[in-house]
């Protein structure tokens, strides 16, 4: 109400009046004090709740790439530390190159049954499904072929046709026998070697995202060198703005400093396979680390494949498979699958999108 001595000042405390006081002065004072105290206590409680909603970020080198994890939520710092430890544990379990890992032991077992963890069985189930869906374009039994080309080692080289023919004899998912209930794996052909390089990163990203969500975090991003899964929406935005889609960049294969497109999603995986990340050059030829299981030779054709679907493990396997299948067969596979979208960049740097992809994608050129 207007103050009598400061007519210009509109809001000021009302003069004490009989209207307000009514009963005993003392009782009112006590009541006011109690209300004030209650206000302070509940205010502090709400504030404390708000303050414990942290925004946290971790950047670590693992799985041969830069991994960034971001989260908004209660105890975000602690949750991310635990998530990183979990990812490191899974990497040690699933890498063919880590001595003592499940995959390493399977590859060394000379046809014997090997007891493995649930996680290895889960990856094999994704791999088996992908092998079936892609008519063998995605195949985790390429281990011996990859070794022959020297991928995963320092000395990469082009093998002879005869060498390739020999190792191709052990390629094919039919050479893998495994039991979900018994939790064991056995390789039937003496030349078969497993390599989870085309699916493990996605699987580990999924596990980290699911771990983070299980700890009550609502918005998070797990990004393993561009293999991304979003929990909820974009982290690190003020709460009052509500949930917003996270924006995931797709690199320009000819200049990785540039983005060619941005994909906006919530609760989904966005994952890219490309021939520009890991390859070697010999006699002017470029050899990508993605192998066509039919020939044992690196694929040629597409520059990159970006897949959007709910699970990063599935996206990882499909991205690798579409690189093998090429534009036409690859795109018809994607169109045949529910809840899967793709953005292909051809060797000529042409962008090709599946039917539902344009709605998620902003092209930046
Ligand atoms: P990145 O690891 O760069 O994200 P990918 O997801 O495409 O790339 O995985 C490539 C890896 O997958 C290779 O390094 C190799 O370990 C494995 N791989 C290569 N070709 C195939 C294939 N046809 N099927 C399954 N795995 C493959
Ligand atoms: Mg892959």
**pLDDT per residue over 76-100, tens digit each?**
999 999 999 999 999 999 999 999 9
**C-alpha 294 to ligand 1 mean position (Å):** 15
Cα distance between the two ends of the chain: 59
Q: What's the pLDDT tens digit per position in 319-329?
A: 999 999 999 99
Atom of ligand 1 nearest to the CA of 323: 7
Atom of ligand 1 nearest to the CA of 293: 23
φ, ψ of residue 18 in degrees (nearest 5): -60, -30
Domains of the chain: 245-365 (3.10.520.10)
CA distance 95 to 196: 7
User: How long a stretch of residues is the chain?
Assistant: 365
**Does the pLDDT at position 33 exceed 60?**
yes
CA distance 280 to 54: 43
**Does the pLDDT at position 239 exceed 80?**
no
**Does the pLDDT at position 235 exceed 50?**
yes
Q: pLDDT category, 3, cuts 50, 70, 90?
A: very low
Contact residues for 177 (Cβ-Cβ < 8 A; gap 6+) = 185, 186, 187, 188
| Pairing between β-strand 227-231 and β-strand 269-274 as defined by DSSP bridges | antiparallel
**C-alpha 199 to ligand 1 mean position (Å):** 7
**C-alpha 201 to ligand 2 mean position (Å):** 8
- Among 37-46, 185-194, 264-273, where is mean pLDDT lowest? 37-46
> How much helix, strand and coil, in percent to the nearest 5, is found in the chain?
40, 25, 35
**C-alpha 58 to ligand 1 mean position (Å):** 26
- Among 3-17, 51-65, 341-355, where is mean pLDDT lowest? 3-17
Atom of ligand 1 nearest to the CA of 202: 6
Q: Which of 87, 86, 179 is nearest to 125 (CA)?
A: 179
**C-alpha 37 to ligand 2 mean position (Å):** 59
Contact residues for 254 (Cβ-Cβ < 8 A; gap 6+) = 276, 303, 349
CA distance 299 to 292: 6
CA distance 189 to 197: 20
> Which pLDDT value is given to residue 50?
57
Q: How many CB atoms lie within 10 A of CB 89?
A: 14
Say which ligand is closest to the CA of 324: 1
Estimate the crossing angle of helix 312-336 against helix 118-133, to 10 degrees.
20
- Among 232-236, 258-262, 296-300, where is mean pLDDT lowest? 232-236
Residues with CB under 6 Å of ligand 1 are 138-140, 142, 146, 151, 195, 197-198, 201, 227, 273, 277-278, 289-291, 293, 316, 319-320, 324
Q: Which of 197, 271, 291, 294 to mutate to test the pocket of ligand 1 (most atoms within 8 A of CB)?
A: 197
Find the helix or strand (DSSP H, E) in which 246 lies. strand 246-252
Estimate the crossing angle of helix 200-214 against helix 118-133, to 10 degrees.
120
> Which pLDDT value is given to residue 240?
79
Q: pLDDT category, 2, cuts 50, 70, 90?
A: very low
């Amino acid at each position: 109400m207007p103050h009598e001595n400061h007519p210009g000042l509109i809001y000021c405390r009302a003069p004490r009046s009989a209207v307000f006081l009514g009963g005993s002065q003392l009782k009112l004072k006590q009541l006011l004090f109690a209300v004030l105290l209650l206000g302070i206590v509940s205010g502090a409680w709400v504030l404390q709740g708000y303050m414990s909603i942290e925004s946290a970020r971790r950047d670590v080198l693992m799985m041969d790439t830069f991994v960034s994890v971001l989260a908004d939520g209660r105890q975000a710092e602690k949750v991310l530390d635990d998530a990183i430890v979990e990812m490191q544990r899974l990497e040690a379990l699933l890498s063919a190159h880590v001595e003592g890992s499940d995959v390493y032991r399977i590859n060394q077992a000379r046809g014997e049954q090997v007891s493995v963890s649930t996680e290895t069985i889960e990856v094999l189930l994704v791999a088996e499904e992908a092998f079936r869906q892609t008519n063998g374009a995605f195949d985790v039994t390429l281990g011996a072929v990859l070794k022959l080309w020297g991928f995963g080692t320092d000395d990469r080289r082009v093998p002879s046709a005869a060498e390739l023919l020999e190792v191709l004899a052990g390629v094919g998912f039919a050479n893998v026998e495994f039991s979900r209930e018994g939790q064991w794996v056995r390789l039937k052909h003496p030349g078969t070697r497993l390599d989870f390089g085309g699916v493990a990163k996605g699987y580990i990203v999924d596990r980290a995202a699911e771990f983070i969500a299980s700890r009550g975090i609502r918005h998070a991003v797990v990004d393993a060198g561009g293999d991304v899964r979003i929990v909820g929406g974009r982290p690190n935005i003020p709460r009052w703005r509500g949930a917003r889609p996270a924006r995931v960049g797709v690199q320009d294969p000819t200049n990785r400093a540039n983005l060619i497109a941005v994909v906006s999603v919530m609760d989904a995986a966005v994952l890219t396979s490309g021939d520009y990340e890991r390859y070697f050059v010999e006699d002017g030829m470029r050899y990508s680390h993605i192998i066509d299981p039919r020939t044992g030779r690196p694929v040629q054709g597409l520059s990159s494949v970006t897949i959007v679907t709910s699970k990063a493990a599935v996206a990882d396997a499909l991205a690798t498979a579409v690189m093998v299948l090429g534009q036409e067969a690859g795109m018809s596979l994607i169109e045949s699958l529910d809840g899967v979208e793709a953005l292909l960049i051809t060797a000529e740097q042409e962008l090709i999108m599946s039917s539902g992809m344009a709605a998620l994608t902003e092209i930046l050129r």
